[in-house]
Structure 1
């Protein structure tokens, strides 16, 4: 059997997995997350899913979680979409069950790690990954290493106050739901036909996202911002207004060196999860 690393992306609606073999991600599978069940039921579901990959010679397991994680101990501190999954010793459970090294981190951190290791972020030493979907998440790579912060909370700009709410309210799919009563994908189709309301929606979205990126630039001044999540596919529709917002940034020489790139990979969270195993130092909190 070929040696493989298993990566898991655990979300509120689904659990996805894939194995990295010789640098290539293969055998992508998914199951529904039993989000309303007990903690033990969810743990057993994850274990049973992993068992479907035991035909491979697994050398380690990486896990991305949409919530805060005690990275060093591998404890899931809480998931907003899975009520019973609070303070779960997931690393201990999986290590005892499978006798493999297990590494766990926030899914947005996994995204940043994945694009840096395998995607368009490979050429940058300093980058920020932003996942734009139902919510918004952020991951930080500094000097080529993932920086997670305490309890993997670094990069949580989603909760920072902005206008009358927070950045997630204006920079995720919630913006389109709240103000245009539609999904980004549906609005994108209308915008491409010249619909003025849909075009305006993406212009406003780009402005808000630009304001978020300016906050990131003041703190970190990275070489690149890599966009992930489903909304990244609509980047051409909001690129102009985003760049217009960035044009007011106080340090134009920083903007001149900044690259904003949509990720070309759809399974970046799984790539990032396997990167946790490949690069063990990325799970250090400092």
Structure 2
């Protein structure tokens, strides 16, 4: 058994995992605006509630730049006090078992490869559409991190007047003084302005997927994150853009999938423990 930890934008999920099954889980708000000491104490206490003698390791996904070898978290976007936290050393000292730390998007992709929609494929890109835009890369069943665990930061690739994160995540809807959730509800009411908004959003997603295909030529791209719930409204714009891809055979062979498991990142984090 292992413990997986998914540290999200505002919540934390911690679960006991074995064989891709979550046996016990805690999900609650994380005190992201507190000091380093307070947030670490909260994390240790939460993990401790599930700890038992059968746990062989802890895997944790954090929305941040991570030195995965040393387990150091740098400048966590959702926890301002985490400028440089030696999380692996802290947790190993506390619980006396192996700890692995990685980027949350990598955990998402790893979870999808082994326990989600991508189990038939060995080469996948997992893309999270939420507050930001991130991606995890699995090549020949191995998580590819890059030198600084920065591989997959497609949101920061320059695009139009900014970058892809401003057009393929929550910031796109801010351009229209709204949110993805409100735009979704309006589309559900068949409001044409909202439908047009989602069509445009799909165009940008299609462009982003074309970049992924040129870079990685994957077997599958899987979309997750809160904004992916609007897929039925941006699918048309996405496919229209993808129809311009210069290699139609490659496009026809690649699968575009939607994440379906709520705790897939938690499963991916637990899988960091070999």
Normalising TM by the smaller chain, what interval? over 0.9
Which position in structure 1 is the counterpart of 2:67? 70
**In structure 2, how many angstroms separate the alpha carbons of the residues matched to 1:12 and 1:182?**
19
Alignment of 1:1-286 (within 5 A): 4-55=1-52, 57-179=54-176, 181-278=177-274
Contact 2:109/2:125 (CA < 8 Å) preserved in 1? yes
Q: Name the SS for the 1:150 alignment partner.
A: coil
Q: Name the SS for the 1:20 alignment partner.
A: strand
**In structure 2, how many angstroms separate the alpha carbons of the residues matched to 1:60 and 1:162?**
40
How many residues are treated as equivalent by the alignment?
A: 274
**In structure 1, how many angstroms separate the alpha carbons of the residues matched to 2:19 and 2:161?**
48
What RMSD over aligned residues (CA atoms) do the two structures have, in Å?
Answer: 1.3
**In structure 1, how many angstroms separate the alpha carbons of the residues matched to 2:23 and 2:150?**
30
Which position in structure 2 is the counterpart of 1:284? none
**In structure 2, how many angstroms separate the alpha carbons of the residues matched to 1:21 and 1:219?**
34
- Report the TM-score, using the length of structure 1 for normalisation: 0.92
**In structure 2, how many angstroms separate the alpha carbons of the residues matched to 1:87 and 1:150?**
18
Q: Name the SS for the 1:152 alignment partner.
A: coil
Q: Name the SS for the 1:58 alignment partner.
A: coil
**In structure 1, how many angstroms separate the alpha carbons of the residues matched to 2:171 and 2:206?**
17
Task: Show structure 2 runs of 5+ residues with no match.
Answer: none
- Report the TM-score, using the length of structure 2 for normalisation: 0.96
Task: Show structure 1 runs of 5+ residues with no match.
Answer: 279-286
Contact 2:20/2:267 (CA < 8 Å) preserved in 1? no
